[in-house]
Chains A and B, each alone.
Chain A
């Protein structure tokens, strides 16, 4: 995903990223687009890149600064790469992991390095939850903040969860207290295509964009099965059936194909016009630049999906629904990055493995609706055995607080079923695999030199019921310290808050 492109202006769209090399994926808040100084350049060879760069500019970027160097020593270090250090260290500086291994690590810089005594503790990468609605369905549950599902049309590919996200959601800090450092915030599943999701780094900020995970790809939330047809049946509109859903979905992608063709055609003609010999000042004859097609945010998103620039995260429970979804993906030539929930994924794990589709699911949720009736606790284990990249997700501001226990439970269920798994496999369900699923695996998900210092110090083996996240680092900065819980992150909780628990617990 690390292709670099040159963003340049489009004559018809005045304010553009000019001469600013923009890193794809588009959302890098440290390389925000700037309004163009001039609009006279040739149209971009890739108008989509310009659209995306403009849409991800930030008026309030995250502040820089990574604090003092830190070394955590004498801890059990679980790296999620398969390597484990029984009495190891993790050193971090300038937001990155600088060294890791057995022993004490590099000598601390006097007066500068913070030394953390990790005796009896466990250290892991920060947990990544690839499916959350924190901020878009915040707590308290109020009509005023019911912002997760734009249920006015079954295809709302143009909406962005980022634009609903309430950064004051008290659930954010509680997730961090559960050892979570990164989440994907997705629109709900009321629509077939719910809109764009966003990868968030969990630090207290004033606006959603400052929380964007730097360089993370764009996500698209899609949904199949019961939810969309229930929502639109209640509204007495299509789709009310699975076949209606598939029809609506395919028609949306057909429109997006046409939109992409029209845009490509316009780009070609514009470039031809621009490269034509310059007209004399007073020449009023034809040869005006061609008119661009009207922009359509929904079709733009789908066109980018078909180009492979947006990662599809598809809510789908039943095996047959997932197979039907994969047929649509093949028909329109796009990849499904992951099915979410996917309680019947174990039934088609051979297909998922062959097609390299990842899974994000719970440890043992089941039965709350028909399409969840065949969920089994061995799902994650069977998928892992079959070579499918499987992740845990929460989909819940409660469950996100103990995803580590979910990994412990799924490991136990798998082992009881005779699947050969180790603790590193279970840790990867929480870190490395969701990092890949969100396209940020080069930056986080394992404890390795050069990766972002998203690190959790646990009181106990993180797969235990009793493990508490004691210290949580994001980009090398201590954002949660159970022994010194300060003022709440959320303005909402000023004066009322009593969480997370202070002081020592047994």
Chain B
């Protein structure tokens, strides 16, 4: 975590150009404690200027542009909008009501699946996540072996087009005990499926003409699936592997070496046991610091200071919620990493800079000139229970912090309930 690799940023896929409205007021957030990229401590008293959906300037002596709206952040903290690197926001309304839950696709091998096709920018969960200071999310596929492609979206905008940043951010593979059991029945069987699929995709890449003329041997995936794996095999699209047991992580590292994949690890309860390997290879690890139980036999060595141990070993740590309804608690997940030994500012980077860098999202997760103006003003330390997000900007536009929950509170703040109002 000491030096984020800019090389990863440079490898980024061509992104959807962020559409910007031109009616945006310029905003100057003044006198805040401002988190800036890299290994710098936060600036104690600085100004952040947002204009045209971008960060225009950051620093201690920045003049407030004429006509700018001024937000006084004295005693407050200003960070890039938090990025949840693994969530179901926009893909679930009510987890246990299957029709409202677009995460449990049938079938095991769905590399061509795109989570963006099920994304609902009007979900009631989105304003709630945003009120927790989360401004962008990786909507990740949940089920299957080759699970498909995550979407990267900003948590604003009335339409999918308006929210979308990357429709096909990364390919996801679940190579853990649970998926082995649900697919081939054993780990070796699971790996056979994955290797066969990747081998077939590699074959397909050089035999497209024969394939289209029905001139190849049968392949384990259909055309869309084979196509979807090509950017993974070219090392362009991150290949995100969920694995927990140290030996499963080793298997993923071997596969990545062999096929020159751009590996990101997820879950990774036992990652601390292979921390040096992960650090040397610069493999980012997406974890939930609250998951510290030996919940399955593939994570008997799970421990609550996984994040701290990885950070100390120099691994790129990313913190995620793996949750839809509680995406708003990303701060708490990061805070608990700090509670058990992770550096505080590294934990902030683990929900801002680190995921942006790992997924090649240029302009995200940093407050620097030219960055996307996703910015949060917090009432205090963002990772503290007593703090809340006071101003949330997405692409330079301040977002309402009204949610379905604040409306419920308002309705029931005094009893008996009056339904006379406009709501």
- Enumerate chain A residues within 8 angstroms of B94, measured Cβ to Cβ: 367-370, 373
Chain A CB within 10 Å, residue with most, of B93, B294, B383, B412:
B294
- Enumerate chain A residues within 8 angstroms of B325, measured Cβ to Cβ: 365-368
Pairwise interchain contact B295-A401, C-beta atoms closer than 8 A: no
A417 within 8 A of B: yes
Which residue of A374, A465, A499 contacts B302 across the interface (Cβ within 8 Å)? A499
- Enumerate chain B residues within 8 angstroms of A464, measured Cβ to Cβ: 384-386
B370 within 8 A of A: no
B209 within 8 A of A: no
Pairwise interchain contact B388-A346, C-beta atoms closer than 8 A: no
A140 within 8 A of B: yes
A221 within 8 A of B: no
How near does chain A come to B290, taking the closest CB pair, in angstroms? 6
Pairwise interchain contact B96-A505, C-beta atoms closer than 8 A: no
Q: By the criterion of a CB under 8 Å from any partner CB, how many residues of chain B are at the interface?
A: 46
- Please report whether the interface of chain B is mostly helix, strand, loop or mixed according to DSSP: loop
- Enumerate chain B residues within 8 angstroms of A501, measured Cβ to Cβ: 303-305, 308, 340-341
Known contacts A405-B332, A463-B385, A499-B303, A376 near B408 by CB under 8 Å: yes
How near does chain B come to A86, taking the closest CB pair, in angstroms? 19
Which residue of B295, B324, B339, B417 contacts A468 across the interface (Cβ within 8 Å)? B339
Q: Mark B274-308, 1 if CB is under 8 A from A, else 0.
A: 00000000000000001111111100111111001
Which residue of A140, A374, A506 contacts B341 across the interface (Cβ within 8 Å)? A506
State in angstroms the CA–CA spacing of A401 and B290 once bound together: 9
State in angstroms the CA–CA spacing of A43 and B201 once bound together: 81
Question: Which residues of chain B (96-146) have a CB below 8 Å from chain A?
Answer: 96-97, 125
- Enumerate chain A residues within 8 angstroms of B291, measured Cβ to Cβ: 398
State in angstroms the CA–CA spacing of A498 and B308 once bound together: 14
A64 within 8 A of B: no
State in angstroms the CA–CA spacing of A226 and B96 once bound together: 10
Pairwise interchain contact B383-A170, C-beta atoms closer than 8 A: no
Question: Which residues of chain A (447-506) have a CB below 8 Å from chain B?
Answer: 463-468, 493, 496-501, 505-506
Q: Mark A178-202, 1 if CB is under 8 A from B, else 0.
A: 0000000000000000000000000
Question: Which residues of chain A (367-392) have a CB below 8 Å from chain B?
Answer: 367-370, 373-378, 382
How near does chain B come to A426, taking the closest CB pair, in angstroms? 10
Known contacts A141-B296, A174-B292, A370 near B385 by CB under 8 Å: no
Q: Mark B380-423, 1 if CB is under 8 A from A, else 0.
A: 00011111100000000000000001001100110101000000
B336 within 8 A of A: yes
Stretch at the interface among A14-22, A31-39, A408-416: A408-416
| In the complex, residue of chain A having the shortest beta-carbon distance to the beta carbon of B334 | A465
Pairwise interchain contact B303-A465, C-beta atoms closer than 8 A: no
A349 within 8 A of B: yes
How near does chain A come to B305, taking the closest CB pair, in angstroms? 4
Pairwise interchain contact A498-B293, C-beta atoms closer than 8 A: no
Which residue of B95, B293, B304, B417 contacts A171 across the interface (Cβ within 8 Å)? B293
Question: Which residues of chain B (189-244) have a CB below 8 Å from chain A?
Answer: none
State in angstroms the CA–CA spacing of A497 and B270 once bound together: 12
State in angstroms the CA–CA spacing of A467 and B383 once bound together: 12
Pairwise interchain contact A405-B412, C-beta atoms closer than 8 A: no
Which residue of A376, A465, A497 contacts B383 across the interface (Cβ within 8 Å)? A465
A residues in contact (CB < 8 Å) with B: 139-141, 170-171, 174, 226, 346-347, 349-350, 364-370, 373-378, 382, 397-398, 401-402, 405, 408-409, 411-412, 416-417, 463-468, 493, 496-501, 505-506
**Would you give 7 A-B contacts (Cβ < 8 Å), ordered by A?**
A140-B296, A140-B297, A174-B293, A350-B415, A368-B94, A368-B96, A493-B300
